Structure 1
Amino acid sequence: MVQGQLDQKIQTEYVRKIVRYKDLLNNVKAKLHNDVKNYVTCTWFNHWTTVLIEEHISTHPKVIPTIKNIKGIDIFFDGQPFDLKVTYLPRKYNPEEAVKNPVKLAVWLYQNQGAQRFGADNRLFVVLLDKNNPKKSWKLKRNFPLVFKEIVNFFNNEKVSQEDEIVFEFRKKI
């Protein structure tokens, strides 16, 4: 289940569909309980692994962390503010294309963000991708030695430049 869809699922599959109270309770117990438990567990895992990854990024000598109260800014890197986003490669996105052209992926991520999460802030996307098995990319979030090593390599070798600017349209507006 994707974030924001739980209420919709409850409304369409339970509240508006099931007529009898007893049937409602039985269905909630038999089905919805597990869906909610799985959703909460997955969300908890994603939240805390993201916190650990972001905290590790903040320890790099080229990074200046911010107090979390600044909306849209988590770190400063090369003097530029960035909103960190730890994510997976979108299902419909070609893994080879993502590796070959990360700027194109960044444009896609900006253009396809949900309206409720819209932002045009400088973003630093940490995209987790198992090239051999993209469906198992979620397992990378718990492989801290590998992820931390790649993060250190990135910050050791990259600089912010004009070529990093992302121009995108959101709902046909630039």
Structure 2
Amino acid sequence: MEHIIKTIGNEINEVLQKVDPGETEVLANEIQHANRIFIAGTGRSGLIGKVFAMRLMHSAYPVYVVGETITPSIESGDLLVIISGSGSTGSLKQYATKAKEIDARVALITTNKDSVIGGLSDCSVRIPAATKKRLESEPDTIQPLGSQFDQSAHLLLDAIVVYLLQQHPGGQENALNKKHANLE
């Protein structure tokens, strides 16, 4: 078990070291300037999106998860953040297309910036991780399906939240705690 844990940790570390920090700063800038942020993903990537949305909410950003019953309509000036390893998930492509029709901004977290959704996006962050497709260009992994991508996306998006919080220092922990759930 110890070997498996170390191997997974090393895999994620190697992937994150290859992410372009400039791309993550562009995404952080998009988040800072958006009227509202909408997060979309399917499967495990969708769950990672919900984790990211929660942290943005704790950080006082107006954020919604696509598909939830309380999510309003996206509008011009809003940002749709899509998490998709392949960048070609059908429903997510439809969301990106609709967002562009409304003049909202689109950001993509993916392994494939040249994907269909990548072509619709205003910015994208490439995470060079293995997906369930196991393409020749992807790194090796001992993990099943797209776990390496999802775990890397989770840590990278948490790093973006830390970056955003550092842009507005002072009272961070107190503000985060005020937004943390108290009906537990």
Higher relative contact order (CA 8 A, sep 6+): 2
TM-score for the superposition, normalised by structure 2: 0.33
TM-score for the superposition, normalised by structure 1: 0.35
Find the structure with the greater CA-based Rg: 1
